[in-house]
Amino acid sequence: MDETKEKFARLIGAEKEEIAVLPSVSDAVAAVAAAMPQPPRRRQIAFTDIDFPAVGQIWLAQDRFKDHLIIIQSEDGMIDLEQYEKDVTDQTLLTCVPHAGYRNGFKQDIKQIAEIVHQKGSLLFVDAYQTAGHIPIHVKDMDIDILAAGTRKYMLGIPGTAFLYMKRELCEQFEPKTAGWFGRSAPFALDSGFAEGAKRFESGTPSFISIYAADAALKLLLEAEPDRIEPYLRQLAAFSLQYGAEKGLKITGHNTVHNRTSLISVYAEEAARVESLLREKHIIVSKRNNVIRIAPHFYNTKEEIGFVMDEIAAIVG
C-alpha cells in the first residue's frame, strides 16, 4: 500500500502522507462528505450537472447539506468559467467538479476554477477519474484541495482501489465517520486517535489484489509519463474529430482539441445495439445514454481509431 501511495503521489505531484487508499471514488466522496467540518456561516455545497451521477447522489444523501445544494449547469455538456463566478458564493463550503466530463471528454481548466472558488472561500474537490493516467495533474500547481481518482479507467487498474488526496494542512479539520483500524494512529488500540494525514480516511482491510494491480499500472504510467502521453493522445483526438466528420458522424463536445481529452463520444440513437455489434467485432467501447464512447490510451494507434470510426459509420448509416 505504501509503495502504491508513493507512486500515485508522484503521478499527481503530492506527498505520500496526503494520499489515502479507498475502494472507490464513491467511497472517497462519501467519506469526505460525512467528515466535512461546517463553519457556522457556510452550509452550501456546489457540484455540476456534468459530474458523474454518484457525486450528486452522495451529496443529496447528506441530511445537513441536502437543502443547501447548488447544481452548476452546463450548456451542451460544457461549463464556462463565468458560471462558476455566478454560482459559487461566499456561502459555499465546498465545490465539486470533474476534471473532465465522463460523457464527452470536456476538460476543465482546474487552475482557473480553483482561483475562482478560493476567492469565494470555498474548498475545491476534483474528481479525476477521467483524467488521471493520461492527463498531467499537478495538485500543488493547480491548487486543488481534495482529489479522488479510481484505477479502473485510464490508470489501467481493476475495480477495488481508488485514491483520495487531501492537502496536508486540511486533514486535521476532517473527522471521518466511517473510521476503521487502518485509519487509526494505533490500529490495535480501541481508543487511539486518527492517523496523521489523509490516512485517517482509510477504514478496513483493502482489496490487496487491486492494490497489486494498481502498483504495476502506476509503475507503467510513471515510466510512460503523462507529460508525454497527453500530446500523443491530443494527436489521436484531432484525427478522431477530423475523420469522424469525414464519415458523417456526430461527435459531442468541442469540435477542436481545445478543452477536451482524447475521449470521443459519437451520437448513436441505439447506442446499446451499436455497442453490442462492435463488441462482436472485438471493439471495446462504452454506451452512455445515446452516445458511444471511445477512450484511447497511449497504446492505441491512429489506424485503430480509423477502423473503429469506419465500423460505427457502417452501423449507424
Domain boundaries, the chain: 2-224, 226-316
Cβ contacts of 296 within 8 Å, gap of 6 or more: 233, 236, 240, 262, 304, 305
Model confidence, pTM? 0.95
Contact 131, 261 (CB under 8 A): yes
Look at residue 109 and give its three-state secondary structure. coil
Q: Beta 264-267 vs 92-98: how paired, if at all?
A: unpaired
Contact 245, 256 (CB under 8 A): no
Cβ contacts of 158 within 8 Å, gap of 6 or more: 151, 152, 209, 210, 213
Within 10 A of 69 (CB to CB), how many other CB atoms are there?
A: 15
Lowest mean pLDDT segment, chosen from 33-42, 90-99, 112-121, 272-281: 33-42
Residue 129 confidence class, pLDDT cut points 50, 70, 90: very high
Residue 82 confidence class, pLDDT cut points 50, 70, 90: very high
Is the domain 226-316 a CATH 3.90.1150.10 member?
Answer: yes
Mean pLDDT, residues 238-246 taken together = 95
Residue 170 confidence class, pLDDT cut points 50, 70, 90: very high
Residue 228, classified by CB atoms within 10 Å of its CB into exposed (0-12), middle (13-18) or buried (19+), is exposed
State how far the Cα of 315 lies from the Cα of 48, in Å rounded to an integer. Answer: 33
Residue 268 confidence class, pLDDT cut points 50, 70, 90: very high
Overall size of the chain counted in residues: 317
Residue 255 confidence class, pLDDT cut points 50, 70, 90: confident
State how far the Cα of 152 lies from the Cα of 203, in Å rounded to an integer. Answer: 20
Residue that is written with C-alpha cell 465539486 in the block: 96
Domain 2-224 belongs to what topology?
Answer: Aspartate Aminotransferase; domain 2 (3.40.640)
Cell of 295: 477512450
Cell of 228: 508525454
Using a pLDDT cut of 70, give the percent of the chain over it: 100
Contact 89, 44 (CB under 8 A): yes
Contact 60, 86 (CB under 8 A): no
Q: What is the pLDDT of residue 179?
A: 77
Strand partners, 44: 92
State how far the Cα of 162 lies from the Cα of 149, in Å rounded to an integer. Answer: 6
317, pLDDT greater than 90? no
State how far the Cα of 22 lies from the Cα of 8, in Å rounded to an integer. Answer: 13
